[in-house]
Structure 1
Amino acid sequence: MSSPLSGADALRQADRLGLPVGAAELPAVRELVTEILDTIGALPAPEPGPASGRPTRSPTTADDPLNAVTLWTDAEPTGSGPLDGVRVAVKDCIAVSGVPMTAGSALLAGFRPDADSTVVARLRAAGARIVATTRMDELGLAAGGDSGLGGPVRNPFDHARTAGGSSSGCAAALHYDAVDVAVGADQGGSVRVPAAWCGVFGLKPTHGLVPATGSLGIDHTVDHLGPMARTTADLARVLDVLAGPDGADPRQRDLPPPSGYSRAVADAPADLAGVRFGVVRECVAGAEPDVRAAFEDVLTGLTKLGATVVIVDLPELAAAGALCFGTTVEGTAALLAAGGNGYQWRGRYWPELAQGIAQGWRDGAGQLGTAAKAVVLAGAYLQEAYRGEWYARAQNARARLEQGYVRALTGVDALLSPTTPGLPHTVSAPSDAARVRRGWAVLTNTAPANVTGLPALSMPLAQSGGLPVGVMLTGRHFDEGRLLAISAVCEREIGVRPGSSPPRP
């Protein structure tokens, strides 16, 4: 920052911006820009991180047959509490101090966070041990479970299929005896899709309930972190520890007082008498026949438990795809351009991440995959050509979808739909473009909850041909306790499907 700005540098930046700078004004502009950069260069350096990294171990086919794990590690507890002895896997976009973090991309090869994310710090303080970081779709930009660094994550029920994504490794690793619970990230369904395809429970909490500080996201308005587990009770135990403000995350505002999620599960009623579910017509109609049949079997089971099931219409979902792309495509390009931090918010920034992204962009941007390149190029085009107009339109258009959900939730306790419209993808795909398209299409039913910020929980209550089929609950803001109580009843009375889990290594 202390080097004087050359005339060529100034003109290159001006040309990139489409900003004419005349020969007569160039000396003054150069002089002032240099002064600005010198002043900024006086900012203090970040606090130094640990002198060395935490010990890690690469997975083997013996201890990771599903290709779910990026690195095995051992981040020991820093305290004692409700998660004593619990072994946790975290998605590879969530910082664990001293452990390399790639976000499923060669872009971050060599990046090693020097501090725990808030969720990891809370887990360790509550007695948990972080034992693994897990594979994911590159930068969280698809949900097929097959676009990340290290190759596809295999479905535990059929190794010729994928685990879903983008928190693919988290869901698959729950089929290992070495992992008790996991924490994933969800920007369009990335917790719930792999939970559905791997036959586990996955919760995307209300936007902001769980701090995302110390994780790499896509856009602050859709970023969520959430627990994944083999039981509803474990979801609740983890959420009890993770929820609440950390004072550093701009996504957290107007949070209610902490709720006892484990207590809600423990107090779950014997049946669903008095509970009303709204089945979202559009989500069921768009599902493949096998998924629809499995979902309807669950509806029959719910009514036998005393629940009332009504059909609700949500025509606003027709615009959800445009809303999601309009928000996340330009948002992702802007976030990466800003070193994964973004601009103009108060909270704790992550300069080391920005440094890592900048270095990775210089050294390995060409190694980005098809989905990432398409998203970044589309977002950059929109920024250059329209200066944020379409992003602004998408953000403002949220209100109509939010109002649709308010109407659909009127008179019911929760909405019901298949988590995904189809069964797990085969690992093979006819082309790169087809692989990316199917990795986006799987988000049809899940992404609207990210746009609206509503809590949504995928339950493994159904099956088709030996493959899990997820059933998704969507509730009102901060209604996680109710969703977890309903899930606990369903788990106990309907059971987890498929009933027999594949062998765990």
Structure 2
Amino acid sequence: MRRNRPYGHVRPATAQQLQEYAERLHFTLDDALADELAPIMAEMITAFDEIDELPQPPAPGTAFTTRDVGREPTLEEDPFNAFIRFCRVEGATDGSLAGLTASIKDCIAIAGMPTTNGSRMQPTAVPGDDAVVVERILAAGATIVGKNNLEDMAMGTGEGSVYGPALNPTNPDHGTGGSSTGSAAAVAAGMVDFSLGADEAGSVRIPSAMCGLVGMKATHGLVPTYGLTYFDHTLDHIGPLTRDIELNARVLEVLAGPDWRDPQWTRGVPEPGSFTEQLDEGVQGLRFAVVEESLEPNGTTPDVLSAFNEGLRVLESHGAVIERVSVPLWGSAWSIESAILSFTLRAMADSGGAGYFHKGRIDPAMTAAMATQVRTSFNDLAVQSRLSFLLGEHMREEYLGVHYAKAHNLRLELGQQVDAALHDRAALLTPTVPVVAPKLSRERHSFTGMLPRLGGPSVLNTCATDLTGHPALTVPTGSGDHGLPVGLQLIGQSFDESTLYRAGAVLEEAELWRLPEEPTAPVLS
């Protein structure tokens, strides 16, 4: 407690302010009532003064303090525009990830280093804590060497970062898909051994598939998200991007398990396990099912379908049974998620990026910075994000927000449909992305002119499992047009990541896709 403070720190509201607040909340206060309520409010506010008096619980601290905050890379050092910042954080000298280099999507906190979120919004947030996933990979021996490029506020499909798009190392004329653009480019180009990305609608799996990588979105709640720039605590996931199955499984073993700071909500406590032990067990006798709605109804192109079918043939040749199944709401998943995000992003912004209705820890430094961004630089928010906020406001004003309730219930129904399709089956199968990586624009576009390029079909097969929480793994399964890689997505029962890796290992062994030993160098300009 502070001693001998002569007055409280929190200023009470004036009568005029109370009337302004009431108008925002859709009720009215006349002058007389506002005058009566102002001194009552002043008494109520003493509770907040007491909060100011109480000492802030100490931050967890950082175990690994040998860190260089680094600098921006040059064009020659980073030809694929994969990094926003080169840095160096030394981890433990031993552990399952000892000797490996890692990069971190720049919406995941490293204490003392700027978190840009790929945005021009100011002030740039500097977290006081490491994200849990950062703590864990450092404790396992990894060395972090950079913060990766990403779409502006992690919303977009590959061209929306204010730092410019990351380039696909297979063909630099094409993008990586979003939003973990730089994470995929860095791993595919061999600049790091693995990267950590965030996935709310497919943002780990989409760029992994488009760059010929392995990408995992684990069961919701298995990997703590404390330290992430949140979208919605029920949608947020953090996952690894790697060049092979074994390392992906090994990284997930390090990331998995509960943490008291985690804001995610899950039934029961997710227990970590071994995801590498079953890699050699094959798929003999396992039943899989292709989701019918993930193919032509979601716009899967012939080249992607051909590569996907080749992956199915590999699984069948190893003794798997491949069936067909319908998940009726699959094709509506993006509409459902878009409706939910139109409401929940507002709540996230209103709370300084902390979110409501959870029991996880909040970093006060990040909350202050993000609340200031909302107040002072919302005009610098990407146009796609602005439209989402405007849409949500319109639906609240004109339709009282009831569409959120319906979308939420449809989400629950989608989860039940996926559970039913998985009954007695090892996994569901879909193309990860219905198309190969799109060609990048060489033109400058206005804010509104960029909008058609920030949409497209890339999320249509990935967003469903962010809504339902089921684990989903993408594995390369060949190539499509322009020689660009295609991913096959395996979707499993909750907390059964091991079976997905087991099947993924069979696909990997078939060598349907090989990353180039030397990435295609872009023309520097």
CA distance in 2, matches of 1:105, 1:252: 28
Contact 1:75–1:130, Cα closer than 8 Å, also in 2: yes
Please show how residues 53-452 of structure 1 align to structure 2 within 5 Å.
54-78=68-92, 80-142=94-156, 144-253=157-266, 254-265=268-279, 268-269=280-281, 271-285=282-296, 286=298, 287-386=300-399, 388-428=401-441, 435-437=450-452, 439-440=454-455, 441-452=457-468
Deviation (angstroms), 1:504: 8.0
1:367 alignment partner AA? D
- CA shift, 1:213, in A, is 0.7
1:479–1:405: structure 2 CA closer, same or farther, 3 Å change rule? same
**Whole-angstrom distance in 1 between the partners of 2:207 and 2:43:** 51
TM-score using structure 1 length:
0.93
Q: Is the 8 A contact 1:83 1:123 kept in 2?
A: yes
Rounded to whole Å, the distance in 2 between the matches of 1:434 and 1:474 is 35
Contact 1:461 1:497 in 2 (8 A): no
Instruction: Say whether residues 1:27 and 2:35 are aligned partners.
Output: yes
| Contact 2:105–2:147 under 8 Å retained in 1 | yes
| Structure 1 pair 52–262 and aligned structure 2 pair: CA distance change class (3 A) | closer
RMSD: 2.4
* Distance apart, 1:175 and its partner CA: 2.8
Deviates more, 1:101-110 or 1:227-236: 101-110
Per mean C-alpha deviation after superposition, the further-off stretch among 166-175 and 495-504 is 495-504
Letter of the aligned partner of 1:43 in structure 2?
I
C-alpha displacement of 1:384: 4.4
Deviations 1:383-434 (A, max 9, x none): 4455543222222222221121122223421111110111112222887557
Deviation at 1:318, TM superposition (A): 3.2
Q: For 1:351 and 1:375, locate their aligned partners in 2 and report how far apart those are by CA, in whole Å.
A: 26
Amino acid of the structure 1 residue aligned with 2:335: A
- 1:467 equivalent to 2:484? Answer yes
SS at match of 1:476: coil
CA distance in 2: counterparts of 1:339 and 1:432, whole angstroms: 25
Contact 1:467 1:498 in 2 (8 A): no
Q: Secondary structure at the match of 1:110?
A: coil
Partners of 2:310 and 2:477 within 8 A in 1: no
Contact 1:463 1:497 in 2 (8 A): no
SS of the aligned residue for 2:306 comes to helix
> How much does 1:65 deviate?
0.8
Aligned residue type for 2:26: G
Shift of the 455–435 alpha-carbon distance from structure 1 to 2, 3 Å rule, reads farther
- Paired with 2:66 and 2:251, the residues of 1 have a C-alpha distance of 29
Q: Structure 2 unaligned runs (5+)?
A: 1-8
Q: Which moved more, 1:168-177 or 1:449-458?
A: 168-177
Shift of 1:235: 0.6
Partner Cα separation in structure 2 for residue 53 and residue 337 of structure 1 = 33
Q: Secondary structure at the match of 1:133?
A: strand
The one of 10, 15, 29 equivalent to 1:7 is 15
Instruction: Kindly indicate whether the alpha-carbon contact (under 8 Å) linking 2:290 and 2:323 is maintained by their aligned counterparts in 1.
Output: yes
Give the CA deviation at 1:108: 4.8
CA distance in 2, matches of 1:473, 1:340: 32
Separation of aligned partners in 1, 2:375 and 2:47? 25
Which sits farther off after the overlay, 419-428 or 113-122? 419-428
C-alpha distance in structure 2 between counterparts of 1:60 and 1:478, whole Å: 42
The number of aligned residues is 501
Query: What's the offset of the Cα at 1:453?
Result: 0.3
Q: What is the identity, as a one-letter code, of the residue corresponding to 2:218?
A: P
Q: Percent identity?
A: 35
Per the alignment, residue 505 of structure 2 pairs with 488
Q: Aligned partners of 1:496, 1:338: CA distance in 2, in Å? A: 44
- Asked if the contact 2:10–2:48 (Cα under 8 Å) also holds between the matched residues in 1, the reply is no
Alpha carbons of 1:353 and 1:385: their partners in 2 closer, same or farther (altered >3 Å)? farther
Question: TM-score, length-normalised on structure 2?
Answer: 0.89
User: Hey, what does 2:494 align to over in structure 1?
Assistant: 477
Measured in 1, the distance between the counterparts of 2:129 and 2:521 equals 32
Contact 2:209-2:475 within 8 A present in 1 as well: yes
Give the whole-Å Cα distance in 2 for the aligned partners of 1:56 and 1:7: 50
Deviations 1:164-212 (A, max 9, x none): 1111111111034441111111001000000011111100000000000
CA contact (8 A) 2:286 2:319 kept: yes
Report the secondary structure of 1:332's partner residue. Answer: helix
Is the Cα–Cα contact under 8 Å of residues 169 and 189 in structure 2 kept in the other structure?
A: no
- Distance, in Å, in 1 between the alignment partners of 2:339 and 2:331 is 14
Task: Give the Cα–Cα distance (whole angstroms) in 2 for the partners of residues 90 and 62 of structure 1.
Answer: 21
CA–CA distance in 2 between the matches of 1:76 and 1:97? 13
Q: CA deviation at 1:290?
A: 1.7
Rounded Cα–Cα distance in structure 2 between residues aligned with 1:427 and 1:31: 60
Q: Deviations over 1:445-468 (max 9, x none)?
A: 000001110000011121013101
Range moving further from structure 2, 485-494 or 111-120: 485-494
- Per-residue CA deviation, residues 330-373 of structure 1 (Å, 9 max, x unaligned), is 11121111111112321212322221112222332111111111
Contact 2:188/2:515 (<8 A) preserved:
no
Note the C-alpha offset of 1:54. 4.7
Q: How far apart, CA to CA, are the structure 1 residues paired with 2:473 and 2:448?
A: 30
Unaligned runs of 5+ in 1: none
Given the superposition, is the C-alpha separation of residues 116 and 209 from structure 1 closer, same or farther in structure 2, using an over 3 Å criterion?
Answer: same
- The SS at the match of 1:158 is coil
**Counterpart-to-counterpart distance in 2, 1:263 and 1:504:** 37
3-state SS of the aligned residue for 2:337? helix
Instruction: Report the equivalent of 2:5.
Output: none
**Secondary structure in 2 matching 1:11:** helix
Cα distance in 2 between the residues matched to 1:475 and 1:227:
17
How far off is 1:494 after superposition?
Answer: 3.4
Displacement, 1:63?
Answer: 1.8
Tell me, in whole angstroms, the C-alpha distance in 1 between the residues paired with 2:166 and 2:123. Answer: 19
